[in-house]
Structure 1
Amino acid sequence: MTTTDHALATGSPFPLGATVTEQGVNFAVVSEDASQLYLCLFDNEGKEQAPLPFLHKHRGIWHMEVLGLTEGQHYGLRADGAFQPKQQQMFNLKKLLIDPYAKDLSDKLVWHPDQAAMTQDGQANLTDSAYCVPKSIVRTPVSSPERPARVRVSPSSRALYELHVKGFSQNLPIADALKGTYLGVISAPGIEHLKSLQITTIQLMPCFSFMTERHLHVLKLNNYWGYNPVSFFAPEPSYAQHDAVVEFQQMVDGLRQAGFEVILDVVYNHTAESELDQSSVSFRGLDNARYYRHQDDQYLNFTGCGNCIDTFSPSSIRLICDSMRYWVNVMGVDGFRFDLGVDMGRTHHDFTPNAPLLQAILQDPVLSNTCLVMEPWDIGPNGYQVGQFPKGFFECNDQYRDTIRRFWRGDKGAVPEFATRFMGSRDYFHKGQKSALHSVNYITYHDGYTMRDLVSYHQRHNQANMEDNRDGHGDNISQNFGAEGETDDANIQAQRLNQQLCFMATLLLSQGTPHILGGDELSHSQQGNNNAYCQDNSLTWLNWQTSHARTELQSTIATLMTLRKRYPILANLHLDDDPLYQHTNADHIEWFNEQGTPMTGQDWSDKNRHYLSLTLTSADLSARFWIVFYNTDTPIAASIPTDHKSLTPLYNTPSMAIENNQLKCAYRGVFIGQID
């Protein structure tokens, strides 16, 4: 270490992190249980200077101002205190620690055994880790006053498009330097494609700086999805050409300029430090007992990732809310999708919609005005909470996913529940309490089959993950139409494309908020891998070749998104028996069988039923639609409801056609027409 004298001042406990002042830099770091905290500065050659002890501690926050320091200073932290793993005390002066509030890091964190605070036999690991831990950088990112304004999306027109920065842009026809980057997303071909779909909202997969897990490092695989965060502030550097902070902001600005709302998939439920004997690079070394959930001297692993953030801890609540405000106010996002969101609603380890973190978000004047999407489960006790989050949160609806898959597979007795899911899952998002828009409907997500694989594979094919094909969901409610995987059989190919069109049309005609997995519009395949989190290669990078399937799917999405935007009734029907809308005039719905007469109790209870249709009529009678679903391949002729005057087809899958005042269904399909 080199020795350099620095003048110190008391400084301030707020704001947390490193803040440039008129005289230098103020540092404020939470570490309630440490006996001493040290600031470690690094010179231009990367050499560590003699550590500076923090001289002041206020309510668990160590703080001081170091005079003469400037923007761009590299630094780290070291914390002294008890090393008692059974009591969750993991202090070890040999471990350099990343400031939890650092806005930028010198490098991408790569797992190394020397990052561990303890050895495999439970003793303190006395190897210094500074050489294998990125340095925090004093940085003050700002939001330009000239950046595009936030795009205001009508709730009834909102449609989410899940986009992986690298996977989306790696194979685009753009300059090599832009491939796989933030700026590649907003290249001309990228923007042109996104605009062609008529979707409203880009849901970015994780962009927090993340690390590849130890077991993947051993297998020489990479964490591709990014659900293993190192920092809640610093953006992922591997997606940038030069400057991750600036280029992330430019990506958001470019998407906004193109008319999109932008939300970010965030992981606040665990960190890359994983199990107790793995990396100690930030939270663990600073305040392990405060940041992570534990009970009876053991970590509580409600995430399946080795640790979980104690979101009932005041320091964690402050950290997460500060992080969210930073990504909104400075980085520019319009909202968040929360991975394993039940952890955010836990108090003393059990879930409640009144949890302090959830309420803190909803009362915040900035955060409450953003788009907030919950993944409403984790693997802890009472970990399944679909429909139970407070108003203000959208929720991913796996009940919708499974039911729609079963219906189109042709499962017996699927029609009644299909109708419930199609109508916004009001058994979960109850009438009088929440609108159907709270239900985020999806058929595919990043963690599972792509839509093409859903119709091409009966079994998962995850051998490339090197876990003996044991990982990923075993029951995918899929259908391969007679051949496993790719086939040259033109008939099977046609059936698979038709099934994809039926899925996409159902999704975009359903009550609620639709979610589209990026790549499904291209008919992208992962060769049957339904857990491609570690496949950073052509398996997951989108293929942009033109194909008949791509043309048909993109046209379906654009056509039906245009209808959703024009007619809000297709997304959020105001029913006369729903107290939530008692102040408005009610829309009207009626269900019909294939004879064109209203569905009877016997019709609903018929387990062999494959046909269902309905009419939607707006309260002001300005719009009336007839929607039809038929999920088997035996040809039928369905009667149009008898009180129609004329019917204008608006969209249909290939099997559907109006002939002689009937709807001819040659095989499974979807139809929507406007009744005049």
Structure 2
Amino acid sequence: MAIQEDTIAVGTPFPLGATVTQQGVNFAVVSEDASQLFLCLFDDNGHEHARIAFPHKHRGIWHMEVLGVSEGQQYGLRADGPFQPQHQQVFNVKKLLIDPYARALSEKLVWHPDQAAVTQDGHANLVDSAPYVPKSIVRTITAPNPRPERAKVSPTSRALYELHIKGFSQNLPIAPELKGTYLGVISPAGIEHLQNLNITTIQLMPCFSFMTERHLQALDLHNYWGYNPISFFAPEPSYAINDAITECQQMIDGLRQAGFEVILDVVYNHTAESELDQSSVSLRGLDNTRYYRHQDGQYLNYTGCGNCIDTYSPSSIRLICDSMRYWVDIMGVDGFRFDLGVDLGRTDHDFTAKAPLLQAILQDPVLSNCCLVMEPWDIGPNGYQVGQFPKGFLECNDQYRDTVRRFWRGDDGMVPEFATRFMGSRDYFHKGEKSALNSVNYITYHDGYTLRDLVSYQHRHNLANMEDNRDGHGDNISQNFGVEGKTQDPKIQAQRLNQQLCFIATLLLSQGTPHLLGGDELSHSQQGNNNAYCQDNALTWLTWETNETRRTLQKTIATLMTLRKRYPILADLHLDDDPLYQHTPADQIEWIQEQGTPMTGQNWSEKQRHYVSLTIAPADLSVRFWMVFYNTDTPLTAALPKGHKNLKTLYATPGMSIVEGALHCAYRGVFIGQLG
């Protein structure tokens, strides 16, 4: 259709994005440095039939109301301005741009060389990119009414379960059209499995619309994990049957209806536009110097992904906070896990807990009430900041992961550090400042071995990634029990299962907030691949055949989660020397050696010590627990703590048993009992 001047009104600079009005649609887009911004309208066949220059600009926001345009209209943006790559300005009117605030896209973005604004020799790429860029779609999205209430999860009972939408649902015994989809996750089979685990919180791996990287596309591989976003609002279309927005909402609400808290793994640290000579499909074309960190004409690549969002910029802060509020208020999530969170806490360059974005999140009445989990590192200078985020954030604790792995591998001299990690890593999450619950404890995450592979492989096996087995961690602190990979040896199989149970029991009895990798309860293997980000196939899709190993793993998780929920002291012990709890009566703790008497300084310094136990009791002494961790296979008999003769077993790994009033450790294992 032809657009006449009298069909364009002034409009308003807020809200940003495309908003349906009584007369048409208001468009508002941030582009501070552009000399002119254009709105391009497309028909359903992808043909551009109108190009309208924005007539108004207010404080860096271009805006207008286009009369006669309606819901469902496909559109894109073009920005004209300086082309000076040496100064990070790459305006190129030939490049069609996705509205950063678009709620829906016409299709999935696929990399194409003509998306680039800059040629390899530094000149402007004058090929029109419109055929290779999804169109933004005018959509009015509202929250379902009524919507299931947010699950009431106490911090002491919270346990995170990391779930990949496709990997979880692709092989579920459900209707074919539901496999690999948002709706497949909330199928009766999916919900039943999650509820049987007794966990509280589903941590969804990225749902933002994402793109496969150029180098993977050349290898005929695909980005599977989703940590390469192109939009902070539009849900990933490949997980949908028909409508990604509606079905993503239904999945989130279905999980909430089933009693789960839902948090979303979000990537606000970089975008799929990658290096300067790659895609210019959104932020780069609109305001490259404002949205991405740069210095001396070069990107500051603190993410390792080609670019990083400048979270010191007001435009970026507003975009991220608006996105977060949208996913809470409209899409329905209860919180977020932030990928490479240190980048979000940088100012010009350095990290600080007082960074504007972090403070903006914590002062926001909506966002501050969410469950907020940080991955506390990036690859930039001083990029390791475990324990340094503001109090409102939980933090993934890799120190816990590495120590617990070394302890259960049987390394000498690990008892003191194991005790520190078990008690909430107070060397990082200091007494008087933070609760142990700020420590998100984990043994496995998506970026590494699965739990089964951790006990089956000593070396990574990543050849399928086509990087000559050079990618992924080289040192996984793993143990294969004598055979690399699969084995039919029943003794080794029993040892591997026992080791998995030891890891799970340690995790769920530790002070802090536990994180479980989805599939570990199924003994899922990736055949030793510890970096399966590009494996969208049977290697990463969970399998669901029932067997005794899986029943044992799942029962262990459910049993120990019941204990955590019943006894908050198992997650957050109130110590008498912790000023954070000076207003409450102190709980009791005592470390016990195998003779049943308190540990001495000499005991703590013994390099060959492989046995550690403790008793804990709440301030009212209503119950007293005895927990034992023994990490070698030499049989040992341990006396009950002095003054106690009665003991009720609450959970024990296979090698632990009570024999004639003592604990017999036939081989490595974990025990928790209630003392009488």
Residue 543 of structure 2: aligned partner: 543
What is the CA-CA distance between 1:3 and the residue it aligns to? Answer: 4.2
1:625–1:673: 8 Å Cα contact kept in structure 2?
yes
Residue 378 of structure 1: aligned partner: 378
Residue 4 of structure 2: aligned partner: 5
Residue 421 of structure 1: aligned partner: 421
What is the CA-CA distance between 1:116 and the residue it aligns to? Answer: 0.5
The one-letter code matched in structure 2 to 1:147 is: R
> Take 1:409 and 1:161, find their aligned partners in 2: how far apart are those partners?
24
Residue 304 of structure 1: aligned partner: 304
Residue 162 of structure 1: aligned partner: 162
Residue 589 of structure 1: aligned partner: 589
Instruction: Note the alpha carbon deviations across 1:11-64, whole angstroms, 9 max, x for none.
Output: 000010001111110000000000000000012332102310000001100000
Residue 569 of structure 1: aligned partner: 569
Residue 651 of structure 1: aligned partner: 651
1:94 aligns with 2:94: yes
What is the CA-CA distance between 1:84 and the residue it aligns to? Answer: 0.7
1:35 aligns with 2:38: no
Residue 236 of structure 1: aligned partner: 236
My pick for the range that moved more, 146-155 or 577-586, is 146-155
1:613 aligns with 2:600: no
1:4–1:49: 8 Å Cα contact kept in structure 2?
no
2:42–2:50: 8 Å Cα contact kept in structure 1?
no
The one-letter code matched in structure 2 to 1:614 is: L
Alignment partner of 2:156: what SS?
Answer: helix
Residue 187 of structure 1: aligned partner: 187
2:56–2:63: 8 Å Cα contact kept in structure 1?
yes
> Take 2:71 and 2:111, find their aligned partners in 1: how far apart are those partners?
28
Residue 248 of structure 1: aligned partner: 248
> Take 2:134 and 2:144, find their aligned partners in 1: how far apart are those partners?
28
What is the CA-CA distance between 1:152 and the residue it aligns to? Answer: 1.7
1:265–1:337: 8 Å Cα contact kept in structure 2?
yes
Residue 459 of structure 1: aligned partner: 459
2:645–2:661: 8 Å Cα contact kept in structure 1?
no
> Take 2:61 and 2:668, find their aligned partners in 1: how far apart are those partners?
63
Residue 265 of structure 2: aligned partner: 265
The one-letter code matched in structure 2 to 1:219 is: L
The one-letter code matched in structure 1 to 2:416 is: P
Unpaired stretches in structure 2, ≥5 consecutive residues: none
The one-letter code matched in structure 1 to 2:510 is: S
> Take 2:152 and 2:617, find their aligned partners in 1: how far apart are those partners?
27
Alignment partner of 1:51: what SS?
Answer: strand
Alignment of 1:377-526 (within 5 A): 377-526=377-526
> Take 1:10 and 1:4, find their aligned partners in 2: how far apart are those partners?
15
> Take 1:255 and 1:623, find their aligned partners in 2: how far apart are those partners?
34
The one-letter code matched in structure 2 to 1:262 is: V
1:147 aligns with 2:165: no
What is the CA-CA distance between 1:118 and the residue it aligns to? Answer: 1.1
2:629–2:671: 8 Å Cα contact kept in structure 1?
yes
1:223–1:536: 8 Å Cα contact kept in structure 2?
yes
> Take 1:59 and 1:72, find their aligned partners in 2: how far apart are those partners?
29
> Take 1:200 and 1:50, find their aligned partners in 2: how far apart are those partners?
50
> Take 1:47 and 1:285, find their aligned partners in 2: how far apart are those partners?
21
Alignment partner of 2:264: what SS?
Answer: strand
Alignment of 1:525-536 (within 5 A): 525-536=525-536
TM norm structure 2? 0.99
1:444–1:517: 8 Å Cα contact kept in structure 2?
yes
> Take 1:308 and 1:3, find their aligned partners in 2: how far apart are those partners?
40
The one-letter code matched in structure 2 to 1:282 is: S
> Take 1:260 and 1:44, find their aligned partners in 2: how far apart are those partners?
39
What is the CA-CA distance between 1:145 and the residue it aligns to? Answer: 2.3
1:111–1:279: 8 Å Cα contact kept in structure 2?
yes
> Take 2:137 and 2:86, find their aligned partners in 1: how far apart are those partners?
33
Residue 580 of structure 1: aligned partner: 580
Alignment partner of 2:627: what SS?
Answer: strand
Residue 637 of structure 2: aligned partner: 637
1:18 aligns with 2:18: yes
> Take 1:646 and 1:254, find their aligned partners in 2: how far apart are those partners?
45
> Take 1:517 and 1:156, find their aligned partners in 2: how far apart are those partners?
19
Instruction: Note the alpha carbon deviations across 1:109-151, whole angstroms, 9 max, x for none.
Output: 0000010111111111011000010000001110022110111
Residue 115 of structure 1: aligned partner: 115
1:105 aligns with 2:105: yes
The one-letter code matched in structure 1 to 2:35 is: S
The one-letter code matched in structure 2 to 1:45 is: N
What is the CA-CA distance between 1:643 and the residue it aligns to? Answer: 1.2
> Take 1:122 and 1:108, find their aligned partners in 2: how far apart are those partners?
28
Instruction: Note the alpha carbon deviations across 1:208-242, whole angstroms, 9 max, x for none.
Output: 00000000000000000000000000000000000
> Take 1:659 and 1:487, find their aligned partners in 2: how far apart are those partners?
33
TM norm structure 1? 0.99
> Take 1:342 and 1:152, find their aligned partners in 2: how far apart are those partners?
29
> Take 2:77 and 2:12, find their aligned partners in 1: how far apart are those partners?
17
The one-letter code matched in structure 1 to 2:551 is: T
> Take 1:34 and 1:666, find their aligned partners in 2: how far apart are those partners?
72
What is the CA-CA distance between 1:292 and the residue it aligns to? Answer: 0.1
Residue 219 of structure 2: aligned partner: 219
Residue 173 of structure 1: aligned partner: 173
Instruction: Note the alpha carbon deviations across 1:315-358, whole angstroms, 9 max, x for none.
Output: 00000000000000000000000000000100011000000000
Alignment partner of 1:40: what SS?
Answer: strand
The one-letter code matched in structure 1 to 2:4 is: D
Instruction: Note the alpha carbon deviations across 1:246-276, whole angstroms, 9 max, x for none.
Output: 0000001110110000000000000000000
1:592–1:612: 8 Å Cα contact kept in structure 2?
yes
Instruction: Note the alpha carbon deviations across 1:488-547, whole angstroms, 9 max, x for none.
Output: 111111100000000000000000000000000000000000000000000000011112
The one-letter code matched in structure 1 to 2:242 is: H
What is the CA-CA distance between 1:4 and the residue it aligns to? Answer: 4.0
What is the CA-CA distance between 1:667 and the residue it aligns to? Answer: 0.1
Residue 334 of structure 1: aligned partner: 334
My pick for the range that moved more, 136-145 or 665-674, is 136-145
1:376–1:386: 8 Å Cα contact kept in structure 2?
yes
Unpaired stretches in structure 1, ≥5 consecutive residues: none
Alignment partner of 1:156: what SS?
Answer: coil
Instruction: Note the alpha carbon deviations across 1:349-404, whole angstroms, 9 max, x for none.
Output: 10000000000000000000000000000000010000000010000000000000
Alignment partner of 1:177: what SS?
Answer: helix
The one-letter code matched in structure 1 to 2:636 is: I
Alignment partner of 1:613: what SS?
Answer: strand
> Take 2:144 and 2:420, find their aligned partners in 1: how far apart are those partners?
46
> Take 1:89 and 1:51, find their aligned partners in 2: how far apart are those partners?
23
Instruction: Note the alpha carbon deviations across 1:598-642, whole angstroms, 9 max, x for none.
Output: 001110000000000000111011111000000000001000102
> Take 2:141 and 2:251, find their aligned partners in 1: how far apart are those partners?
15
2:24–2:66: 8 Å Cα contact kept in structure 1?
yes
> Take 2:549 and 2:416, find their aligned partners in 1: how far apart are those partners?
31
The one-letter code matched in structure 2 to 1:402 is: D
Residue 279 of structure 2: aligned partner: 279
The one-letter code matched in structure 1 to 2:302 is: F
> Take 2:177 and 2:407, find their aligned partners in 1: how far apart are those partners?
45
2:639–2:662: 8 Å Cα contact kept in structure 1?
yes
Alignment partner of 2:140: what SS?
Answer: coil
Alignment partner of 1:271: what SS?
Answer: coil
> Take 2:462 and 2:569, find their aligned partners in 1: how far apart are those partners?
41
Alignment partner of 2:49: what SS?
Answer: coil
The one-letter code matched in structure 2 to 1:658 is: I
> Take 1:133 and 1:5, find their aligned partners in 2: how far apart are those partners?
26
Residue 138 of structure 1: aligned partner: 138
> Take 1:350 and 1:453, find their aligned partners in 2: how far apart are those partners?
37
Alignment partner of 1:50: what SS?
Answer: strand
What is the CA-CA distance between 1:548 and the residue it aligns to? Answer: 1.6
Alignment partner of 1:78: what SS?
Answer: strand
